[in-house]
Amino acid sequence: MFSKNTKKTLFFKTLLFLGIILGMGGSLFSADFASAQSCPANTTVSGTTVNFVGEVTDMGGDSVTYAWFEYGETTSYGQKTSERSLTSTGFYCISVSGLSPNTTYYYRAVASNSAGTSYGERKSFTTVSGPTVDIKANGSNGPITVPYNGSATLSWTSSDVDYCSASGGWSGSKGMSGSQVIQNLTVSRTYTLNCSGAGGSVSDSVKVNVEEDYDYADFSIKKTVRNLSKGTVYSDLIYADPGDILTFGIVVKAGSDSIYDIVVKDILPAGIIYRGDLKVDNILTGGDIFAGLNIGHLAAGQKKTVTFRGDVAGAESFSFGQTQLINTASVSSGADSRSDSAEILVTRGAVAGVATAVSTGLTNNVFLDSFLLPLMISLLIIWLFKSRIIKFEEWLDRRKKEYQIYKSKKILQLKVARIKAQEFLGKIV
């Protein structure tokens, strides 16, 4: 065991052997701790990255010694790294990147164990310039404008980088410097170059705008639909019921100039089921009208018609009343495009014959109306007669007596009439 004084002496000896350790810029950067086998012999500076190297030669009798570093752009330092616990002697290193370029940093080592805290001597280092990259279009930082279907030359330079890659309007890895011609430009794009090196990463962009080609702007599109179930003609507005069969039409017409590479797309609304039968000028064709169907080119004034079948979904897909469905089609040629829409008004009403809509009796319940209620009424009538609340027998007796009196009178009248008739005949004879 070491005495306290002995431990303190060895601890300060440790500080003397810490060597050149961490130095940092104006803020705390993430540090990467490396093993002794991967540490360089001395502190090195590469661009805006520093690899600090230190050595602990004696633990001063403690099992753990804590080391950290103060740093800054002035001798007041102002920043502190996280503490690192050291459990044995030997070299260690910490790499810090992202420092400010062309900047002098001051730093010192700090260590602490049970004997107290001690500071190493003040040291300094200076970073160098970080990576740079510059990209131009036709020699300009942009943005530039080129004619439709024209070209632009991209050129770039970089420094202190190891790798460059393209993004935006182009892609792939690129050299540290170079040029590339971009041809057949039809849409405006931004071209970005990303480069990285030991000192960090950097990027630069340039935008190339493309003028509209008026030769490609002179065409039109007409979207229509017809209801085959109801026998209607093509229109931009139709009425339909659930389950009706529809045919959709898209007419593309060129203006005063020819148009090329015509792509037609269609968007079916929910509630319409695509049934195929895709045709161009009434000729069945393959392709996907929803992803984009290329119908070739049109001469000036020429037109082509695309049709396909779609059915209205069943009643369960619609609420009662009227539902508006919008079907939109678009056509593009190069950078220019047009679109048009047709409207389907689907009406769902109450269905005749549905049990809940047709009365089945007093209660609309088949069992009650057909069996139980008639039985109850019959029992009630029997009870009324049995209880003599309704005196049916008395009424019946009265009716019999009245009938007998009436019958007797009729018989008497007949006898009187016969006697009178006989007397009359006797006088005549």
Which of 286, 321, 348 represents a domain boundary (last residue)? 348
Which of 302, 150, 298 minimizes the C-alpha distance to 213? 150
263 touches 216 (CB < 8 A): no
Shared domain for 258 and 274, answered yes or no, is yes
Shared domain for 25 and 147, answered yes or no, is no
Shared domain for 39 and 88, answered yes or no, is yes
Shared domain for 122 and 136, answered yes or no, is no
User: How is 173-217 classified by DSSP, letter by letter?
Assistant: EE-SSEEEEEEEE-S-EEEEEEEEETTEEEEEEEEEEE---GGGS
Shared domain for 175 and 76, answered yes or no, is no
Per-residue pLDDT of the chain (429 residues; tens, 9 = 90+): 333 333 343 333 333 334 333 333 333 344 555 444 577 777 777 777 777 776 767 777 788 888 777 888 889 988 887 787 888 877 777 777 777 888 888 888 778 888 788 888 888 888 877 788 999 999 999 899 999 888 999 999 998 888 999 999 899 999 999 999 999 898 899 999 999 887 778 899 999 999 875 444 578 899 999 999 999 999 989 999 999 999 999 999 988 888 888 899 998 999 999 998 999 999 998 889 998 889 888 888 899 999 999 999 999 989 888 899 999 999 988 778 889 999 999 998 865 444 444 455 556 666 666 777 788 887 877 776 666 666 666 777 787 888 788 778 878 888 777 777 777 666 555
Any idea what the CATH number is for the domain that residue 31 is in?
A: 2.60.40.10
Shared domain for 141 and 30, answered yes or no, is no
54 touches 107 (CB < 8 A): no
Shared domain for 76 and 137, answered yes or no, is no
Shared domain for 341 and 231, answered yes or no, is yes
Residue span of the structural domain in which 229 resides: 218-348
Q: Is residue 412 part of a domain?
A: no
Q: Is residue 381 part of a domain?
A: no
Cis-peptide into 147, omega within 30 deg: no
Shared domain for 27 and 109, answered yes or no, is yes
Enumerate the β-bridge partners of residue 245.
311
Which of 151, 180, 211 represents a domain boundary (last residue)? 211
Shared domain for 20 and 51, answered yes or no, is yes
